[in-house]
Amino acid sequence: MHELLDAVAYLFDVLLMPFTAGSEPRKIWMKVVGAAIAAVGILTLLGLLVWALFVKAQGLRALLAPSAFAMEQNGTLTAGIVGPIADKEPIRAGAWQVPVLTLRLTADCARDADIDWITVVHEGTGDVRDIKGVAAIVVDGKASTSSPVDPRDRTATLHFNDSPLRIPKCQAETVVISANFPVQPTKTGTHAFMVELPSDILGETVVGDFPLRGGTYVLAGRWTKTACLREAWRITKAQDRRQALRACRK
C-alpha cells in the first residue's frame, strides 16, 4: 500500500514539475511535452494519409471492377451484320459464291470462342432448288462445307471443316455466307438469307440483334444454251463445273 502511495505521489511530482521546479527542469519538461505532441501529430498525419490512400484505392477498384452487365457478357459471342445490305440486287444465273450475308462475330475478353456450325434460313420468292449450295467463308481462308438448302424448312447448316472456327478473345472475325446459283434456274425470284436465332450459331452463348438478315437478290431467268455453256466453263471447281454443264444440256 505504501508503494502505491509513493508511486502516486511521484506521478503528481512529475506533473507539477513545470510549476514547482526551477528553470532548467522546466525546460527539459517542456521539450519532452513538445516532442510528445509532435510525435502524436506525425502519427495522426500518417494515419490520415494511409486512410486517404485506402479510400482512393477502394474507389479505383470499384471503378475498374466489371459491372453486372459486363459479368453477364463473360464467355459470350456478339454477332452482327456488315453492310451495305443489297436491296433486290440482280444476279446472273450461274453466279458462284455470291455473298448473300456477311456476319461480324466478336469474342469477349474472357476466353477464345469456338463455333461448330451456323444455320441459315432462306427467304424470298425464289425456289430453294435453284440454290446449289451455301457455304460460310472466313477472311483467313477457312470455310465450311457447302450445304444444300432443305426444302422442308428452307434451312442450311454450315459445318466448319475439320475443326471449329476459333475466334481469339477480344477479337472479331468476318464470316461471309455465300450461295451458288445454277446456270439454268427453274424460275426467277428473290433470294435472301438470315440467321434467325442466337442458337443458330452453335458453340458459344451468342448475343445480338436477331434475326440477322442479309440482302435481297433477284435471280435472272434461264439462259440460252450457248450462254449457259459459256458460264458453266467459267466455274473453277471441277465437280461444280460438271454439274453446271449437265444442267445446260437439259
What is the per-residue pLDDT across 56-74, written as a single tens digit (0 to 9) for each?
A: 655 544 334 333 333 334 4
pLDDT interval class at 80 (50, 70, 90):
very high
Other Cβ atoms closer than 10 A to 180: 22
In the predicted structure, residue 218 carries a pLDDT above the cut 60: yes
Q: Is residue 71 part of a domain?
A: no
200 plus 163 within the same structural domain:
yes
Q: Is residue 194 part of a domain?
A: yes
Q: Is residue 70 part of a domain?
A: no
pLDDT of residue 31: 62
User: Does the pTM exceed 0.75?
Assistant: no
pLDDT interval class at 197 (50, 70, 90):
very high
- Dist. CA 250–CA 241, nearest whole Å: 15
187 plus 116 within the same structural domain:
yes
In the predicted structure, residue 193 carries a pLDDT above the cut 50: yes
Domain harbouring 138, CATH code = 2.60.40
Domain that holds residue 182: 76-248
91 plus 168 within the same structural domain:
yes
Per the structure, the count of domains in the chain is: 2
Residue 171 and residue 106 in contact, taking contact as beta carbons nearer than 8 Å: yes
99 plus 217 within the same structural domain:
yes
57 plus 80 within the same structural domain:
no
58 plus 161 within the same structural domain:
no
Q: Is residue 69 part of a domain?
A: no
Tell me the C-alpha to C-alpha distance, in Å, between residue 118 and each of 50, 121, 158: 56, 10, 5
pLDDT interval class at 115 (50, 70, 90):
very high
105 plus 165 within the same structural domain:
yes
pLDDT of residue 23: 55
Q: Tell me how far apart the terminal alpha carbons of the chain are, to the nearest angstrom.
A: 128
